[in-house]
Structure formats: C-alpha cells, structure tokens
Chain A
Amino acid sequence: MLLQQIADGVATGAIYGALALAIVLVYRASRTLNFAQGELALLGAYVSWQLVAWGVPLWTALAISMIALGALSAASERVLVRPLVRRHQPLPLIIVTLGLMIALNAVIGWAWTYQTKEVPALFGEGAVTVAGIALSRQDLGIAATVLVVAIGLGLLFERTRAGLRMRAAISAPESAELSGISTGRTMTAGWAIAGAVGALAGTLIAPELFLHPGMMAPVLLYAFAAATLGGLESPPGALVGGIAVGVVENLAGSYLPHGSDFKQVVALVIIVAVLLVRPQGMFGRREVVRV
C-alpha cells in the first residue's frame, strides 16, 4: 500500500519535475520566475489535443506542439521579458509574466471553451505488476520520457559547445559577452527549451487530470515547490525536487485527514519550509550580495 502510493507519487512527480525544469531553465536565463509557465504548458497540451482531434498521430502532434510552444516561449522572452531584464526591473517583470498567465488562460478558455476534454494516453492503457505494485504503462512511460529528456538536456549542457556557451553566459555574463558569446541568444534559447519541455509536461499530464483551462494552476504550484526544493538553479535538483514533491503530495492525500483539501497546502508548506531552512534548496548555491 505504502509502496504503491510512493510509486504513484513518482510518476506525477516526474511531471512536476519536468515543469520545474522549465522554471529552472527560465530562471537561469533571465533571473526571474515565469508565472505563465503553467499556462504555456497548458497551451501545449491543447495544441497536442487539437492536432490529435484533426487526425495527426499522437507522437507527431506532441513534437509539433513542443516546437510551437518553444517558439512562442522564445518570442515572449524576446518581446516581453528582455526589455525589462535589461532595465533591471523585477516588479514589472513579475507583473508581465502574471499578465501573460491570465491572458493565455483566457485565450485558451475562449478558443477551446471551459469544458473538459479527454486526452488519449500516450503509452496506452494497462498496467505491469512488479513485486505487488501495479505500475500503469502510462506512469512508466512518463517517468521514462522525463528521464530521457533530462539526460538529453544534461548532455546538451555538459557535452556540447552550445551548452558550454549557455553555461558561460549564465555564470559570468560579462566575461561571456567579451569572449563573443551573445547572452541574449542564450537567454532566448533557455526560454525556447523551457517552452518545449513545458509542452511535453502538459501533454503528459493531460490524460491524468483531464484537459480543462484550470488544469495547470495546481500543477504549476507543485512545480514551483519542486524547483524551490531543488534550488531554482539546478536542473537535476528540479527533477529530484519534483519527485519528492509528487511522493509527499500523494502520501499527504492518502494519509492525512481532509487529505485532498490539504494537498495544495502541502505545496505552500514545502515552499515556506525550504525557503526558511535552506533557501538555496538542495542543489543551489547560497546567494551572496556584494555591497
């Protein structure tokens, strides 16, 4: 029973981890939180759904949706975020991504109505039983996909020249500029990858939660909790944080009284606790302010 709950938690946690990964990529690129990350993922899920409804094969639909959302995310970085980052204005930046979140949600509600839609499971129905724990093919597929994406991104960052440039632009923007790296381009790239990963997360979780415009708000909250737990700057931290949050959420839902209501409070408690006890998270670095 306990092991079953943990296994279920790992699968949803992998999705929180994927969205947290998107949050971390944006944070590393622009030093801001994109409050619209959840709605971008939601839009990705809707694009996938729409393409499937038009007869496009599911995996092709997912690929198109990831490319489209990557482009949209990059465009919003270029048009909405960059000018404010360059002006060093944190408050307008928060207001703008908040505005984007509300506007996107409204546009989605407008285009696809507020009725829930059923999304086909990417990995088919059925379950595999291992040592008394029933693992659905869907859950296994999600965990595997997220793992593949994470390893792919890890290789991109650590083993390629493009990845080296991105890391340089993040850790020492001025020196990077001086050695001929366009920090602007790496920022846009970060947002583009985040948009695509978000679209993947949205499409993966849609069959579990049923697709409707309010679907991503709680998921975004868990993803923020996961990113905070992982340290906001660390992609592996985001994944580990996501799985931890998924497991805790699932256990709280089953074992606490009023569990299903307390689930959202759990995310709040995790965020506050991490920020108080260890603000740099599990994998982050402590921030030092120079006067």
Chain B
Amino acid sequence: MTATTTRASTARSGRERGRSRDSLAAWLRRPRPPLAPPRWLAVLATAAGAIALAVVPLVNPSYINLTLTLVMIWTIVGLGLNLLVGFGGQVSLGHSAFFAIGAYAVAVGGAAGLPHPATLAGAAVVPFVVGYLVGLPALRLHGLQLGLVTLAMAMATPAAIRALEPLTQGSRGIAIDGSPPAWVPLAHDQWVYYLALALATVAYVVTRRLARGRLGRSFVAVRDAEVVAETLGVDVWHTKTRLFAASAAYAGVAGGLYAMLLEFIGPENFSLTLSISFVTLIVVGGLATVPGAVLGALFVQYVPTLTSSISPAATGAAYGVVLILFAFFVPFGLVGLARAALGRIVARLPGARGT
C-alpha cells in the first residue's frame, strides 16, 4: 500500500512540475499510471456494465446485436495483438492470417459435423500451434524483419485460402451453421452475442492478469531491454514464441466467432485491410494498455460506417491519418487521453486509492 502511495504521489507532482514547462505535444506524450478509481466506483461501474451487456441483446434488433458482437470480436483480437505488440514489442501485421485460420477451423470443423464448443476450441488451438511454428523461426528476427514476414503472411492469406480449395472451397466461400444448440432458447444473433461476450470477458480478465503479473513484466522487460532481461533470467526466446502463439490464439478465437456470426466466409474477408484495421485498433486504443482494446474495437467498428458515407476512400484516409497522428502525438492512445483527462478527477473522488 505504501509503495502505491509513493508512486502515485511522485507521478502527480511530476505532472504538476511539468505542466508549466512542457508543450502540449510533450504533455500528451507523457506516460501516466492507470486510473485507480475508488473501489465502490469500480464495483458499481462493473456491475452496471455487466447488467447492460447482458440485457442489451434481448431488447435490440438483430443488426445492432451484430455490430455489438463485432465490437467484442475485435476486442478479443485487440487484446491478443496488444499483448504481442504493446507489451511484447513484437510487430505483427499478419494477424488477419490467424483470424482466418480460426474462422476456417470453425467452418471446416462444423462441416465435418463437430459441435460448436469443439470447433471454437479448434479455433484457439490451431492458430496457437501455427503461431508457435511461425514464431519459432520468425522471432529470431528483429522488429522490422518480423513486420515484413507478417505483412507477407497477411498478403498471402487470401491466395492461400483460394489455393487450399479442397479444404476451404476456395473463392466460392464456405457456409457455417452458427445457430444455437436445440436446448438454448435464443435466436442466432443472441446466441453468438453471448458466446462472444463470455469469451471477450474471459480474454479481458486473463489479459489483465497476464499484463500485471510476472509474465507481463517479463514481456515488457524483453521489449525494452532484451539483453538485460536475458541476464536477469528471463528466457527471451520462450517468452517471445509463447507470446506470439498466445496472441495468435486470441485472433483465432475471434475469427471463429466471426465465422459463426456471419455464417458465410470467403477469401476476401481476410485481406490486408483487416490486418491494418487490427493495427489501427491497438494504436488508437492505446499500446500496452488493456482497456485500449475495447476503445480501439469501438473505433474500428463505428468509424468506417461513418466515413464510408462520405466516400469509399474516406475510411482508408481516416485510418492512415489517425495512425500517423497517434504515433506522433498520442502514443498511449485513447486510454492515455482518458488517463490525462480523468486522472485528477478520479483521484479526488471520496475513497480514492492512493490519496
């Protein structure tokens, strides 16, 4: 408890000292501690959020459920990709490939007559194994080379799907039965919504624990000072390969849910654009933050619907400009902005921790 107190107070005094001197750009770039709301507020907000999320699909038309489910699917990808890129410092431009593998695992498994839980497990396991195998050699490479390999993976994905026609039915696409089992009295969109909600919640909690625990700190150590981390007893190579594989598994599960949601997928669903929107997601949400995945997911789901009403090119322009602006000025993304805006307010609430 004392440790937290000192850290919070030094952070605050540093902020106040800096304010008069720093430019706006430097103020935006400053790293900040996560918000520490008082316990009653955290409990209240979580409870209210949980109830809202549980009731929403029962009262909404199916197309709203569809977009909300997509938000949760993007959240799962974002959590995994942020573990890799934000915490691990490894670039991947190829997560659309793992997303596709997950989707096709569900599609092919379903076609072979397997029930849903089994196909979704496959959507986690197959990308994990593939990610591990890709990671074995690829992680000997440093940042840029890994970016290159994964970019090539993303670009080759649609072609690979078309070429593996016996399995994937090529460019004709493949249908998936996403309807709930007989004992569940829900419509298709509600069923997939609850599945996605459950898996996104699990992914969120697991990622939060990972990020704060020993493993998360070893990721950050490998990212910031690989040689030092190795000297201190972190098995760098194992850390990296497992991280890569775990991140691929997140993307795979999300891909599996995506296939169940759309009930029809083809090679054109998994283009380079998808990978780029994943990268945009974590950059906008906030690299190396856990809640960033949720904010980023909202961004990549709703901004394109706004921009595409202007012009088909506007989405790309918006993504590109946002990527550049965030990389320069807002390195901690929307979460960083929220911390900057709300940090002082939250610290003054009655019962706030660390005051």
> A121 near B: Cβ within 8 Å?
no
Closest CB in chain A relative to B141 CB, distance in Å: 6
A32 to B144, CA, bound (A): 7
A272 engages B163 (CB within 8 Å): no
The interface on chain B, measured as residues whose beta carbon lies within 8 A of the other chain's beta carbons, has a size of 47
Interface residue ranges of B325-354 to A (CB < 8 Å): 326-328, 331
Q: Across the interface, which residues of A come within 8 angstroms of B145, CB to CB?
A: 228, 275, 279
For chains A and B in complex, what number of residue pairs have CB atoms within 8 angstroms? 137
A104 adjacent to chain B (CB < 8 Å) = yes
Shortest Cβ gap from A195 to chain B (Å): 18
| Neighbouring A residues of B316 by C-beta, 8 Å | 102-103, 105-106, 109
- Contact surface of B with A, Cβ cutoff 8 Å: 85, 89, 91, 93, 137-138, 140-141, 143-145, 147-149, 151-153, 155-156, 159-160, 162-163, 165, 227, 272, 276, 279, 283, 287, 311-317, 319-324, 326-328, 331
Partner of B152, one of A103, A110, A221: A221
Q: With A and B bound together, what is the CA distance between A279 and B272 in angstroms?
A: 25
Chain B residue with the shortest CB-CB distance to A224: B148
Q: Which residues of A contact B (CB under 8 A)?
A: 32-33, 35, 80, 83-84, 90-92, 94-96, 98-107, 109-110, 114, 217-218, 221, 224-225, 228, 258, 261-265, 267-268, 271-272, 275-276, 279, 289, 291
Q: A109-B316, A267-B156, A275-B141 are in contact. Are A35 and B163 (CB under 8 A)?
A: no
Q: A271-B148, A275-B141 are in contact. Are A106 and B155 (CB under 8 A)?
A: no
A106 adjacent to B320 (CB under 8 Å): yes
Name the residue of chain B whose CB is nearest to the CB of A260: B159
Shortest Cβ distance from B322 into A: residue: A99
The CA of A92 and the CA of B327, in the complex, are separated in Å by 5
* Residue among B152, B160, B321 with max Cβ neighbours from chain A (10 Å): B152
6 A–B pairs (Cβ distance < 8 Å), ordered by A: A33-B144, A91-B287, A95-B323, A99-B327, A102-B316, A106-B314
State the main secondary structure of chain B at its contact with A: helix
Contact of A265 among B147, B159, B317 (CB under 8 A): B159
Q: Is the CB of A268 within 8 A of B313?
A: no
Q: Is the CB of A100 within 8 A of B320?
A: yes
Which B residues are in CB contact (< 8 Å) with A80? 324, 328
CB distance from B95 to the nearest CB of A (A): 13
Is the beta-carbon distance between A262 and B163 smaller than 8 angstroms?
yes
Q: Which residues of A contact B89 (CB under 8 A)?
A: 91
Assess the A102–B144 pair: CB atoms within 8 A.
no
The chain A residue sitting closest to B143, CB to CB, is: A90
Q: A289 contacts which chain B residues (CB < 8 A)? A: 227
